[in-house]
């Protein structure tokens, strides 16, 4: 690889996918839009070389923004947010926990995704809320690991799933282990909240748009000194004493109820004919050399244990699964990563929201509750390619999955946490006018391009490093920068863009969600989930008490007065308030 510098999480050739389908789908999509809703709306949505004032949606609905000139409007917006913040902190026990992980979804990506989501609906965009923007509590997560200032997805996954920070490139091991050295792993294994939840009698699931053996999902169930050991054929001969990730998933995690994602190739032997394979995806390097068919072994084990199970490989198969009659579900929808959302074959691959819905429907049958990990993994891959358009479509799909989960659960007993493993070097810059296409070239209020010192225009979204570097800088005046495969310009030449090391956001709702307020180490994330759901270090009977053992709180301003006996009989209002507070305590103790 050229470009200089160290790339901690390479999007190597085997991680990439053919992009020809996205090109053809994009052309087809634009033609359909032009034919059905007219060029004016396409200009609104995509800003193809025209001044943008986004006030008309694809359906022709007009959005009036005149109220933004009124000070009362902004005071009311602030008052509404204040009232939300003043609501009582929700305590209690989380029967269910769902962790949504937007891979590479740093603060700039969230902001750009929010604007993009709004503009897809014909709005200006900046005022839009993503589903998790509405969560009542937010905090920040410090993502460095034990040996790197900027983390990769394996070390970060170990932190936010096991509560232990570790070295770059390792999964489910402490920093005492050495990357790539099998015999260094003895006594260094650490379990995740997924395993803690299963031991507590809960159900558990993993959902991702990447290979199911990729870093983020693998951090929930595997222990390996090298994240690249996804199949036995990728483990070096000298390190064969370590079990590959795919094998660990099937043979050592038989109790995981739902497994949905890509990566079929790592489960089949070299000579197996995958009748549902995409010929354009070359995954021979992942095929197993040990002759095992792990998918068949999974099905045989389920039959032997007389479990109700389904194995599916496409969207129609997933749709046909009866959640009420299925306790175990394995779905592998591609031999490699699943497609980017904008290029997804909707006949073959389900959306992240659809996979999330099916997982929740199956898992929620357990009276003890469940833990579910959901990853929007292709956001990260698009950023590595310096293609913000691809990334933002996946951000919107990720937000849709969060929304689906909130619809299928209740915040009274389900803690939902949304965060990222790390950021990227994406920057949102310039002084573009309100409503300017977030994927477009910076334009002022007069619709004129904003120029750099080199008298050439630049896009709102740029990368600090990556494949978009050119010297001298390319003139993009006539480029369609809204094209999903457009490679954004960068300041430093690298073959692949890198991760960013800034703090990433934590969004939370449900029992104990207020505990995420503030700035925290990334390994704090699973400890709160464990405390709220009474598993792992906080399981019943452990030395550390969980949320079930909390003492109910009465406002410090009210309590002394209520207990003093100094309330005159005529002060019925204050007496009623005290009774109300006492009743709230009784309600808390009962529930």
- Cα 589 to its chain centre, rounded Å, is 35
Is residue 152 within 8 Å of 71, Cβ to Cβ?
Answer: no
Annotated binding site: 103, 214, 216, 375, 380, 384, 421-422, 499
- Could you tell me the maximum CA-CA distance found in the chain, to the nearest angstrom? 87
Find out whether the peptide bond into 350 is cis, omega within 30 degrees of 0.
Answer: no
Annotated binding site for Mg(2+): 103, 214, 216, 375
Sheet harboring 137-142: ordered strands across?
Answer: 309-312, 328-332, 258-262, 203-211, 370-376, 96-102, 414-419, 504-509, 137-142, 518-521
Residue linked to tokens 């949606």 = 57
Backbone angles phi, psi at 532, to 5 degrees: -70, -35
- Least Cα distance to 352 among 341, 362, 342, 360 occurs for 341
Is residue 440 within 8 Å of 47, Cβ to Cβ?
Answer: yes
Tokens of 226: 């090298």
3-state secondary structure of 521: strand
User: Buried b / exposed e across 40-73, counting CB within 10 Å, b at 16+?
Assistant: ebbbbbbbbebebebebbbeeeeeeeeeeeeeee
The answer to whether 153 is a known catalytic residue is yes
Tokens of 384: 């590595």
For residue 288, give every residue at least 6 positions away whose Cβ sits within 8 Å of its Cβ, in sequence order, or none: 231, 232, 233, 246, 266, 267, 268, 269, 270, 294
SS (H, E, C) 113-173: HHHHHHHHCCCCCCCCCCHHHHCCEEEEEECCCCCCCCCCHHHHHHHHHHCCCCCCCCECE
Backbone angles phi, psi at 331, to 5 degrees: -130, 115
Which one of the listed residues 148, 153, 220, 513 is annotated catalytic?
Answer: 153
Annotated binding site for Zn(2+): 103, 380, 384, 421-422, 499
Q: How far is CA 445 from CA 3, 23, 52, 53, in A?
A: 37, 32, 9, 9
CA angle 153–18–338, rounded 5-degree value:
50
Residue 270: CB atoms within 10 A of its CB come to 13
Backbone angles phi, psi at 375, to 5 degrees: -115, 130
Residue linked to tokens 């990227």 = 424
Is residue 342 within 8 Å of 17, Cβ to Cβ?
Answer: no
- Least Cα distance to 545 among 564, 558, 530, 560 occurs for 530
Rounded-to-integer distance, Cα 239 and Cα 57, Å: 57
Burial class (CB in 10 A: 0-12, 13-18, 19+), 84: exposed
Rounded-to-integer distance, Cα 295 and Cα 291, Å: 12
The residues that are catalytic are 153
């Amino acid at each position: 690889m050229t470009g200089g510098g160290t790339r901690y999480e390479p999007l190597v050739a085997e991680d990439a996918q053919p992009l020809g389908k996205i090109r053809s789908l994009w052309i087809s999509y634009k033609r359909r839009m032009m034919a059905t809703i007219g060029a004016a709306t396409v200009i609104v949505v995509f800003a193809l070389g025209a001044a943008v004032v986004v006030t008309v949606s694809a359906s022709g609905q007009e959005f009036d923004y005149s109220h933004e000139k009124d000070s009362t409007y902004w005071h009311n917006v602030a008052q509404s947010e204040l009232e939300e913040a003043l609501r009582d902190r929700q305590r209690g026990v989380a029967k269910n926990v769902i962790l949504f992980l937007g891979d590479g979804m740093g603060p700039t990506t969230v902001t750009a995704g929010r604007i993009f989501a709004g503009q897809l609906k014909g709005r200006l965009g900046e005022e839009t809320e993503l589903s998790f923007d509405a969560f009542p509590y937010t905090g920040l997560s410090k993502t460095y690991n034990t040996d790197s200032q900027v983390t990769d997805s394996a070390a970060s996954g170990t932190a936010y799933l096991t509560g232990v920070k570790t070295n770059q490139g390792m999964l489910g091991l402490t920093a005492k282990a050495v990357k790539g050295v099998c015999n260094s792993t003895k006594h260094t294994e650490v379990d995740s909240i997924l395993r803690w939840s299963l031991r507590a009698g809960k159900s558990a699931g993993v959902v991702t748009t990447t290979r199911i053996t990729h870093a983020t999902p693998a951090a929930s169930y595997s222990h390996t000194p090298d994240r690249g050991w996804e199949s036995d054929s990728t483990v070096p001969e000298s390190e064969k004493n370590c079990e590959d990730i795919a094998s660990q998933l099937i043979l050592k995690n038989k109790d995981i109820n739902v497994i949905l994602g890509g990566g079929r190739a790592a489960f089949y032997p070299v000579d197996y004919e995958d009748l549902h394979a995409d010929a354009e995806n070359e995954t021979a390097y992942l095929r197993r050399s040990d002759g095992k068919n792990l998918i068949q072994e999974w099905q045989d084990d389920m039959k032997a244990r007389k479990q109700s199970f389904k194995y599916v490989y496409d969207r129609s198969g997933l749709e046909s699964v009866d959640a009420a009659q299925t306790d175990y579900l394995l779905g592998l929808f591609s031999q490699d990563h699943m497609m980017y959302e904008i290029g997804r074959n909707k006949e073959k691959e389900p959306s992240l929201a659809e996979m999330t819905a099916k997982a929740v429907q199956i898992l929620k049958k357990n009276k003890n509750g469940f833990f579910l990990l959901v990853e929007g993994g292709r956001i990260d891959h698009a950023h590595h390619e310096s293609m913000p358009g691809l990334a933002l479509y996946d951000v919107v799909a990720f937000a849709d999955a969060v929304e689906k989960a909130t619809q299928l659960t209740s915040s009274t007993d389900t803690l939902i946490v949304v965060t990222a493993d790390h950021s990227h070097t994406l920057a949102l810059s310039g002084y573009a006018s309100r409503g300017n296409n977030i994927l477009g070239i910076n334009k002022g209020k007069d619709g004129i391009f904003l120029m750099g010192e080199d008298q050439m225009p630049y896009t709102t979204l740029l990368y600090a490093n990556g494949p978009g570097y050119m010297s001298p800088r390319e003139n993009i005046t006539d480029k369609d920068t809204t094209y999903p495969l457009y490679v954004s310009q960068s300041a430093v030449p690298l073959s692949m863009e890198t991760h960013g090391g800034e703090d990433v956001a934590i969004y939370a709702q449900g029992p104990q969600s207020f505990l995420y307020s503030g700035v925290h180490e990334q390994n704090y994330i699973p400890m709160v989930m464990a405390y709220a759901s009474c598993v792992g270090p906080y399981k019943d009977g452990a030395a550390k008490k969980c949320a079930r053992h909390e003492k109910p709180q009465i406002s410090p301003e009210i309590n002394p007065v209520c207990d003093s006996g100094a309330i005159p009989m005529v002060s019925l209002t204050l007496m009623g308030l005290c009774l109300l507070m006492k009743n709230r305590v009784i309600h808390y103790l009962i529930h």
